[in-house]
Amino acid sequence: MKYFSTRGGSEELSFEDTVLTGLAPNGGLYIPTSIPKLPGNWKNDWKEYSFIDLSVTVLSLFISRDEISESELRNLVVKSYANFRHPEVTPLKRLGDKKYVLELWHGPTWAFKDVALQLLGNLFEFFLQRRNERNVTVKEKLTVVGATSGDTGSAAIYGLRNKANISIFILHPKGRVSPIQEAQMTTVTDSNVHNLAVKGTFDDCQDIVKALFADTQFNAKHRLGAVNSINWARILAQTVYYFLAYFSLRRATGGDADVQFVVPTGNFGDILAGYYAKKMGLPMAGKLGVATNANDILARFWKTGRYEKADSSPIDVAPSMEPAAGSSDGKQGTQDSSGVKETLSPAMDILVSSNFERLLWYLAFENVPQTEVDPRGKAGETVAGWMSKMKSDGRVEVPTSVLESARRDFCAERVSDEQTLETIKAHFLGTPSYVVDPHTAVGLSAAARMAQHNPLSYNQIILSTAHPAKFSEAVSTALEDSPQFNFESQIMPEEFKGLLQKERRVVDVESADIELVKRVIEDRV
């Protein structure tokens, strides 16, 4: 299996080079030359597989045995998930009739990104160690850079702390992540870990990271590696829990069951993994449900076909964007000059969804004229044009045929802060009582709306992305009038207690300036 850039070019990379390179030199994201199909008897052969077994099996479809042997891959997978707190790694929990949550937060930092980043950290170390064993004269090192709106940073740091020949620099928007998220990152004092608090937004941080990769001289000097979901290995790792959820649902229902996955998403990586699983052949009766908060670039795309930072639709012609049931947007009215709205689900406070480019390539490829001699190249050219227009104008509108292709596999809903709080409270007071973080609440709220249009046979699986203790303000606000609720005794894990008082190590960056970030990296590598 080889990988190529969404923005065209003839270069094809191995899995190893794809993982270590991260972002293509032309700014594109790497995708596989083909999406493998599931073997004929997979439903029966895989039905009793553990998460470890499924990981090895699914990953093997995308990774050549010549690059990583089966035994090497199994060792990497076992090592990656050894410190997860649940034996199933990502267990499925029933919340009601035909409603389930897939708990993805049983890893070391209590967030879904541990699933991918524990594996990615071990892949980085494995590839570097093998290269250095083959070439003892020049030791290869990797400088990993990433941007985070909350959970990516701590998950990446925990995946890479103390790894040989690897330094990691994580940029986060100062004051825009939850206190627990910030503490999880900045209290890691390993010498190879560096936190940068940037005065700006997540999108500013993400733009700086992309610009660092695009700077060929700086990239070559420091051998940059990517941990954001622009790195293909993260998407690949996340496809596994869709398969685990499918088999868990079959066991729960006693056989085949129609399923719709609903995913709270900002950068589009978590739900894109579901798209790959579907294209491989995983049965999904329902469309993949995109759940966004007020930063709804994705929801607006599926309504209008416009991928744009700011909503250009007049309010009176966009009824689906209005809050449901007469609720208001609450604190979603707060936004800075960049247009990012501050919400109770800050990990999704993103203007531009980087991973969406991968889906755009498949949509462009599907709509290439049959007379085209080089359809893959034409799709790359189209995507490069769209991304260029997005960068220059802040918006691009795709053809109707492309939008129709997107609507075949996806649907989308936008959820307000008030709806988020209502959902947290409703599930706490429900049977069974269940406390969710605000991002999972966005998914549950959107799923309830989507269910109104689904056939009665559909089961919904909502991806639960973080432990509620990571977002204490939102959860406490939602449940402050519930006398039976006590955050400290019912929610707070022992690992979080005293975390906010621990020693911190962080560098303040006074503006979203790439040169300032370069200086920090130069001083510390």
Q: Give the per-residue SS3 of 193-226.
A: EEEEEECCCHHHHHHHHHHHHHCHHHHHHHCEEE
* Tokens read off for 391: 């960068």
Residue 364 in contact with residue 379, Cβ under 8 Å? yes
**Mean per-residue pLDDT for 466-481?**
94
Q: b/e string for 146-169 if b means 16 or more Cβ within 10 A?
A: bbbbbbbbbbbbbbbbebebbbbb
Residue-wise pLDDT for 398-430, tens only, equals 999 999 999 999 999 999 999 999 999 999 999
Neighbours of 25 (CB within 10 A): 14
Residue 149: its pLDDT value, please? 80
Residue-wise pLDDT for 28-54, tens only, equals 999 999 999 999 999 999 999 999 999
Residue-wise pLDDT for 158-173, tens only, equals 999 999 999 999 999 9
Neighbours of 133 (CB within 10 A): 8
Quick one: pLDDT band at residue 135, thresholds 50, 70, 90? confident
- Choose, from 98, 113, 174, 470, the residue flagged as catalytic: 113
Residue-wise pLDDT for 346-400, tens only, equals 889 998 999 999 999 999 999 999 999 999 999 999 999 999 999 999 999 999 9
Residue 340: its pLDDT value, please? 85
Helix, strand, or coil here: 289?
A: strand
Cα separation, 505 vs 525, in Å, equals 16
Residue 267 in contact with residue 467, Cβ under 8 Å? no
CB-side exposure of 411: number of CA atoms within 13 Å?
A: 19
The amino acid at residue 397 is E
Helix, strand, or coil here: 301?
A: helix
Tell whether the model's pLDDT for residue 335 goes beyond 80: no
Residue 511: its pLDDT value, please? 96
Helix axes 70-81, 113-134, angle to 10 degrees: 130
Tell whether the model's pLDDT for residue 338 goes beyond 90: no
Cα separation, 223 vs 131, in Å, equals 14
Helix, strand, or coil here: 38?
A: coil
Q: Is 141 a catalytic residue?
A: no
* Tokens read off for 230: 């622009």
Quick one: pLDDT band at residue 201, thresholds 50, 70, 90? very high
Residue-wise pLDDT for 52-69, tens only, equals 999 999 999 999 999 999
Residue 327: its pLDDT value, please? 26
CA 44 to chain centre: 30
**Mean per-residue pLDDT for 307-319?**
68
